[in-house]
A and B are shown apart, each in its own frame.
Chain A
């Protein structure tokens, strides 16, 4: 686990356009971590004390159902954020986040991040918008997955099933 320098943050899409002064406020909240394949980055039900920005490798979001194999809901790769549940109370982790291969991530201490965002509402607003973009994109993707596009083509083109 190593500390992260401000210039490293500046290169990341999440921090694009953020001033050096603000990056300095955020950098102490971040640690670079490595996770072996199979390790949990976040555990369902735990307090949402960490937010991970994936740098390399990929993770699976898994729903734990007692007595059954975990259900993989989604896989995420570099550039993705995991652990957005920290923003809203009760700030609990909703799914297991497991490394599918060796993963490098920036782990943010969410308490530290929250203090930085509250001390500088401009920064808070900026990050809220960026986290919201992630949440909206995932919601849209989840809705498309729910439609079961490939399973029932006749639902999307009524002509298809008729007489064919």
Chain B
């Protein structure tokens, strides 16, 4: 429960209001893709942020933060050499072992690409463990593409990267439309595919429906839920989602566990 104090090594401005913090973590900061840390901006407060680094990377831990409130704003204003508190890693990550030998389908919306980045790094490093690897990524506009350079690297590493934007700007040559339009028969084998979704809940709901339409079994679809995590260890109850606590039981859930809950408007 006591935060470790880590120093900021680098701040990468991904786009306006979105920064990737590279924190110095002596030794190896072990985590599972999909887990999160509680980041404490001194004097401002603490927020849960997904870990976005490569699980095999030593000496650093990475988080991508969007400024949406006072704490996250304070985090995005940190500069190299400054310190912050880190608790974690917390929660249940992506069940990557279930994808072994089969196809891996990732659907990300907006900043939802951040918690999937460790999966992509792992898939790239251990490409032979998986069949086809497909990333469907939808975002607002070409200016809000996250990890722009890495998207090309992933494509080069035998990962099929499909990107779409809601609003095109002059010069954009890619797809325009919703992320579900990218999901077409033939991209992957629905019988062997494990699908991992991360993004706004509405986007995940539509993506799950489309993947089911394409033949992916409900039990093979997992999604990362976001709720108001405070303690990170299942004590405070702030992130309660029906009978689940997102910080402990999630943030990654099998669709079949959360589908009935997602239909309850009060949750």
List A contacts of B52 (CB < 8 A).
none
Assembled-state Cα–Cα distance A72/B171 (Å): 10
Assembled-state Cα–Cα distance A145/B167 (Å): 8
Are B138 and A159 in contact, CB atoms less than 8 angstroms apart?
Answer: no
The contact size tier of chain B is 35 or more
**B238-256 toward A: CB 8 Å interface, digit per residue (1/0)?**
0000000000000000000
**B62-86 toward A: CB 8 Å interface, digit per residue (1/0)?**
0000101111100000000000000
Are A75 and B176 in contact, CB atoms less than 8 angstroms apart?
Answer: yes
Assembled-state Cα–Cα distance A159/B164 (Å): 27
Determine whether B175 belongs to the interface, using a CB cutoff of 8 Å to chain A: yes
List B contacts of A148 (CB < 8 A).
140, 166
Cβ-neighbour of A153 out of B68, B139, B180, B206 (below 8 A): B68
Determine whether A141 belongs to the interface, using a CB cutoff of 8 Å to chain B: yes
**B145-157 toward A: CB 8 Å interface, digit per residue (1/0)?**
0000000000000
List A contacts of B176 (CB < 8 A).
60, 72-75
Given contacts A60-B176, A164-B71, contact A147 B202 (CB under 8 A): yes
Determine whether A100 belongs to the interface, using a CB cutoff of 8 Å to chain B: yes
List B contacts of A78 (CB < 8 A).
184
Assembled-state Cα–Cα distance A164/B227 (Å): 12
List A contacts of B42 (CB < 8 A).
none
The contact size tier of chain A is 20 to 34
Assembled-state Cα–Cα distance A155/B138 (Å): 18
Q: Which of A65-82 contact B (CB under 8 A)?
A: 69, 71-79
CB distance from A73 to the nearest CB of B (A): 7
Interface hub of B70, B138, B181 (most chain A Cβ within 10 A)? B181
Cβ-neighbour of A161 out of B69, B168, B177 (below 8 A): B69
Cβ-neighbour of B109 out of A69, A100, A149, A154 (below 8 A): A149
Given contacts A145-B177, A150-B109, A157-B226, 17 further A-B contacts (CB under 8 A): A72-B176, A75-B174, A75-B175, A100-B173, A144-B178, A145-B166, A145-B178, A150-B144, A150-B203, A153-B66, A153-B68, A160-B68, A160-B226, A163-B69, A163-B70, A164-B69, A164-B72
The residues of B with any CB-CB pair to A shorter than 8 Å are 45, 47, 66, 68-72, 109-111, 138-140, 144, 164, 166-168, 170, 172-178, 180-181, 184, 199-203, 206, 226-228
Q: Can you give 25 A-B contacts (C-beta < 8 A)?
A: A73-B168, A73-B176, A75-B174, A75-B176, A78-B184, A141-B180, A144-B202, A144-B203, A144-B206, A149-B140, A149-B202, A150-B111, A150-B138, A150-B139, A150-B144, A150-B166, A150-B200, A151-B144, A156-B201, A156-B202, A157-B201, A157-B227, A160-B68, A163-B71, A164-B70
